[in-house]
Amino acid sequence: FQVLAEQYADSQLGILSRYYLGLIARQTKRVDEGKEHLSWVINNADELETRNLARNALAQIVLGENNPEEAATLFEKILEEPSPNYPPQIILMGLAQSYEKAGNEKRYSKTVEQSQQVANALWRQWQTDGNPETQALLAWYYCLVSTHPQRLTLKHISEPTTPQRIGCERVGVEKNTSG
């Protein structure tokens, strides 16, 4: 990826190579290098989807470094510039986690409420159209909620359902029954 990032720096291939270099650096505990690559992608990518990929990856890094304010800023930017492959309910979960970790109870509660509204709308959509893509989004969301270590539990969703009903068990995630 390094060669591609250098030789084709201004092309989508070079930018994606830089993104993957950032992910690899993160996975190999070279966090500062990963942050540098991902920040470069955010500042240089023409494609919104690519910028949001890098924002999300960078948000995960800084959240892991106990910098929830910076993570929240990155998640907020994804919500300000939405792209088709980043459903808002998933980004709202990351944002809520950032606010909770920062001790911002007011913003945390508001974000959980927004996330609930989006998930409920998805639930109603899936009940109407039965679309497998909608089901996959719901399954991902409920699996995330059911495994979240903080207070985001299934009780935040007002529509009656279980993760198993929408396919959570297919990805090997156990539901949280404490809510």
pLDDT digits (tens, 9 = 90+) for 29-73: 999 999 999 999 999 999 999 999 999 999 999 999 999 999 999
| Number of residues in the chain | 179
The more confident residue out of 178 and 45 is 45
Rounded Cα–Cα distance for residues 162 and 32 (Å)? 40
- Give the contacts of 152 (CB within 8 A, at least 6 positions apart): 93, 96, 97, 112, 115, 145
Count of C-beta atoms within a 10 Å radius of residue 66: 9
User: Residue 140: which of 92, 173, 176 has the closest Cα?
Assistant: 173
Can you state the angle between helices 12-27 and 31-44, rounded to 10 degrees? Answer: 160
The more confident residue out of 52 and 3 is 52
Q: What percent of the chain has pLDDT over 70?
A: 76
Rounded Cα–Cα distance for residues 75 and 90 (Å)? 10
Task: Kindly report whether the global pTM for this prediction surpasses the value 0.85.
Answer: no
CA distances from 152 to 38, 72, 141 (A): 28, 17, 11
User: Residue 58: which of 82, 74, 72 has the closest Cα?
Assistant: 74
